Structure 1
Amino acid sequence: MRKRLLGVAAAATVVTGMCAPAALAAVPVGDQDTNFVRSAHQGNLAEIAAGQDAQKSAMTPCVKAVGARLVTDHQKLDRDLKALAVKSKTVLPAAPTVEQQQALRGVTEKAGTAGYDAAWLKNQEAAHTQTLALIDTQIRSGTDAAVTNAAKKARPVVALHLDMVRGGTCHTM
């Protein structure tokens, strides 16, 4: 397990270019805060991938537009998380969770069919509902002010995304 974690850490460092300067002192971050940063990063990676897929595979202009919005917004949110990770020397995962990858595969299998958009919207509603719960837990229980502030900043963005896909109906805002 330790070898796997070291491999993931090395890959994350190479992939994200997150080598912290030697002069940067470690900032202690609690387990809740570290878990939030890692989980939110994986959520961002999943949303970016889903948004990119929607831009090329969606059948309706609305889903394509919402997909583009997700990419833009989650890239920005992830830049902020990466900065926090560097400051706290938190190693970020290099990919979405296995479950997130499987969910996206389930949607992408429907590419080019009428069922793609409905599957994508349903997946995004579930993902953004989970992300809001993660954010709310951080806001309630986080101990690192910078991480909790990032969660507070992300909350309205994620809530807007949820509103855009709620009920399996696409809404551009």
Structure 2
Amino acid sequence: MKRALLLTAAAAAALSLAACNRQNAGNTADAGNTMNPGQSAPVNAAQDAMGAAVGAASSTTLGSHDTGAFVDNAGQGNIYEIRAAKIAEQKSKAADVKAYAKMMVIDHTALENEMKPLISAAGKTAPTELDQRRKGFLDNLSAASAQDFDKAYIDQQVAAHEETLNLMKGYADNGDDAGLKAAAAKTAPKVEAHLDKAKAIQAKLSGG
């Protein structure tokens, strides 16, 4: 537990540094840069990696057994997936990426709807907005150039589904609400299938 908490703190600090570097990059961006001011593909990729590290630590610590943390992380995960997929449907030029994004909208909307009554029964409230970490992911997708977009989106998807899979498996094993434990166990295989598909597209984009 202590190691995971230290990882969270270190990753959060690195995430802040990446955001600072993004701001500095805006001062040196060339006139041909098609991204938003202050953004560049390497800085955004570094920020995404740091955000993924924070999420990985969170999903295996509090989120794996605390009901409030589980609800918050699972709910925000669904919101992020749907919003990111809608950006991908608009920006991607690759048929397999667009098909994956469409699947994300359908599956995560269904999961969001399935979870709502269980969250209420557990006495919790589902989140309606994203935290700064996930907002940063969406900002980076919106800013990505046509050339960089598919890799940015799929890299985020691999990290996000690894985080969600750990969250679901952890709560299924260690959670204290029976309804949500059952939902987490039921959801884990579908999340794993999403992860496998994202990894396959990632390998294809990398020439593997």
Answer yes or no: same fold by TM over 0.5.
yes
**TM-score of the superposition, structure 2-length normalised?**
0.63
3-state SS of paired residue (2:191):
helix
3-state SS of paired residue (1:150):
helix
Look up the match of 2:187.
Answer: 154
CA RMSD of aligned residues (A): 1.7
Higher RCO, Cα 8 Å, sep 6+: 1
Verify: 1:95 aligned to 2:129, yes or no.
yes
Query: What code does the residue aligned with 1:127 have?
Result: A
**C-alpha distance in 1, partners of 2:166/2:178?**
18
Verify: 1:130 aligned to 2:163, yes or no.
yes
- How far did residue 170 of structure 1 move? 6.0
Deviations 1:109-142 (A, max 9, x none): 115x111001100011011111111112101211
Q: 1:104 aligns with which of 129, 135, 138?
A: 138
- How far did residue 163 of structure 1 move? 0.8
**C-alpha distance in 1, partners of 2:126/2:94?**
34
- How far did residue 91 of structure 1 move? 1.6
Q: 1:72 aligns with which of 99, 106, 111?
A: 106
- How far did residue 96 of structure 1 move? 2.1
Q: 2:91 aligns with which of 32, 39, 57?
A: 57
5 Å-filtered alignment, 1:3-18, equals: none
Percent identity, aligned pairs only, is: 29
**C-alpha distance in 2, partners of 1:97/1:76?**
22
**C-alpha distance in 2, partners of 1:70/1:137?**
22
Deviations 1:66-117 (A, max 9, x none): 0000010000111111111222231222112210110121122115x11100
- What 5-or-longer segments of structure 1 have no aligned partner? 1-30
Look up the match of 2:199.
Answer: 166
**TM-score of the superposition, structure 1-length normalised?**
0.76
Q: 2:176 aligns with which of 138, 143, 156?
A: 143
Q: 2:75 aligns with which of 32, 38, 41?
A: 41
- What 5-or-longer segments of structure 2 have no aligned partner? 1-64
3-state SS of paired residue (1:114):
helix
Look up the match of 1:114.
Answer: 147
**C-alpha distance in 2, partners of 1:51/1:135?**
21
**C-alpha distance in 1, partners of 2:176/2:127?**
22
